[in-house]
Homo-oligomer: A and B are copies of this chain.
Amino acid sequence: MTTRPGARPTMNDVAAAAGVGLKTVSRVVNDEPGVAAGTAERVRAAIAALGFSRNDSARLLRQGRTATLGLLLEDIADPFSSVLGGAVEEIARGRESLLFTGSSGAEPQRERELALAFCARRVDGLVIVPTGTDHRYLLPELAAGTAVVFVDRPAGRIEADAVLTDNAGGARAGTAHLIRHGHRRIGFLGDLPQLYTGAERLRGYREALADAGLRYDQRLVATGRTDQATVAAALDRLVGGPDPATALFTGNNRITLAVLRALPRLPHPPALVGFDDLELADLLSPGLTVVAQDPVGLGRIAAELVFRRMDGDREPPRRIELPTVLLPRGSGEAAPRTGR
């Protein structure tokens, strides 16, 4: 049976066609008990004849929930974001929840617009990789009972759940690894220290130096933009001069990639440990040694936490830190050239 495009039959249409009340149709559609077999059969026939399917948006409006989670990433096209998102999706699936997904593109303004758009749709919960540093705009939503969990970076200026990587610990371990292999001049190439993860990783680097009794030398540290040209210039600075770096610790994936692309130009490539893993890292020569994060764990635990909050957990905001894993593959185990 064909109806004109755009015209969907409703429960009312089914009720009329079957010659029953609206509520009886609702009972059949939702498999509620207490409908005579014959009545149910007529209703089902009408449903099939009209091609009826329940409008879940209307249903959920009446029920006062949306069975929907908002997932706000930095950039869905980025492997870290998408793997994290995949883990959130898997947990959400087990809870019969659909997912609104959006990317902030690292723009606080867009983060806010999207987060509030999700809330305006009345998502039951929000999992957010924040970009901005002031999340007071979410206070009314939190007060209204929306569950919000921050991932990868903590919330700014509000108290909220956060699931984070042990950034400082990871950077400390990666730097210590280079020190253990004989390096004393270790360069750090990182994000802007205004970014939470950037600052934490720099802190870990400094801690490792201090642990080993090495002094912190600002000339070995470059933080800023992560495009190829900027990183290449910073690299030249760190490995040039009278007392150059013999090893590098790179503070994130984009920087690691830029360094890898710039390394072939150098006569004496430094040892290298990168923060965060890359898909083909083991196939490079030498293999790329990294401090690996756990994006799956971040997403899974954040999603589990947001559902726990939705289930009524009213404990004070939690901060969970996931450990990193050092994966030695060759690039981080080279001895310093000057040490030979």
Contacts and interface: CB of A to CB of B under 8 A. Distances in A.
Interface of A: 2-3, 5-8, 51, 53-58, 60-61, 66, 71, 75-79, 81-83, 85-87, 89, 93, 98-103, 116-122, 140, 143-145, 257, 260-261, 278-285
Contacts of A101: 71, 76, 85, 89, 99-101
17 contacts: A2-B143, A3-B144, A6-B144, A6-B145, A53-B119, A55-B120, A57-B61, A57-B121, A75-B86, A89-B102, A98-B121, A99-B101, A260-B283, A278-B280, A279-B280, A280-B280, A283-B284
Contacts of A51: 140, 143-144
A257 B278 CA distance: 13
A332 B121 CA distance: 51
Nearest to A75: B86
Given A7-B144, A58-B61, A93-B102, 12 more contacts: A5-B143, A55-B120, A56-B120, A57-B57, A71-B101, A77-B85, A78-B82, A79-B79, A79-B82, A98-B117, A261-B283, A279-B280
Contacts of A85: 76-77, 82, 101
A280 B61 CA distance: 47
A289 to B, nearest CB: 15
A283 B279 CA distance: 12
A144 B1 CA distance: 12
Contacts of A93: 102
Nearest to A54: B120
Contacts of A6: 144-145
Central interface residue in A87, A144, A283, by most chain B CB within 10 Å: A283
